[in-house]
């Protein structure tokens, strides 16, 4: 996790630095639904590679948005969920969804 001094002065830039890839947004969106195991996440996010998923989850965990819980079972399994801080992203994700729906309904014909 970066220190507060290292964060951008602009709050929007700070938020964007946390979700600096489309994959992080998709991961956070999935985690708003429920906790997920790694392989479940991998299968549910079309096109994401194992490396990108692993790197993104680690980054989100480092930033304090995602919790990684290891279950002491055989075979062992890991579950990912949102932290309390990560839960705050739900409203942002809802607004992204709402705008996407609005945009699709109101984009002028012939616009690509």
Whole-prediction pTM: 0.86
Rounded average pLDDT over 56-80: 93
How many domains does the chain contain in total? 1
Instruction: Identify whether 111 is part of a domain.
Output: no
CA 7 to chain CA centroid, nearest Å: 19
Give the structural domain span for 81.
Answer: 4-106
Q: Enumerate the β-bridge partners of residue 18.
A: none
Closest CA to 11 of 92, 95, 83, 79: 92
pLDDT reading at 28 higher than 80: yes
Query: In 10 A of CB 51, how many CB atoms?
Result: 8
Phi, psi (rounded to 5 degrees) for 77? -140, 160
> Using CA atoms, how far apart are residues 15 and 37, in angstroms rounded to an integer?
26
Higher pLDDT, 54 or 108: 54
Number of H helices, E strands in the chain: 6, 3
pLDDT the model gives residue 4: 81
- The length of the chain in residues reads 112
Instruction: Identify whether 112 is part of a domain.
Output: no
Instruction: Identify whether 41 is part of a domain.
Output: yes
pLDDT reading at 34 higher than 80: yes
């Amino acid at each position: 996790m970066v220190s507060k001094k290292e964060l951008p002065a602009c709050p929007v830039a700070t938020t964007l630095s946390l979700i600096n890839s489309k994959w992080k947004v998709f991961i956070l969106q999935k985690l708003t639904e429920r906790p997920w195991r790694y392989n479940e996440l991998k299968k549910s996010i079309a096109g994401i590679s194992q490396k990108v998923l692993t790197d993104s989850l680690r980054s989100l965990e480092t930033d304090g948005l995602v919790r990684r819980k290891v279950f002491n079972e055989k075979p062992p399994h890991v579950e990912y969920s949102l932290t309390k801080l990560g839960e705050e992203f739900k409203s942002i994700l809802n607004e992204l969804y709402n705008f996407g729906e609005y945009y699709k309904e109101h984009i002028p014909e012939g616009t690509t």
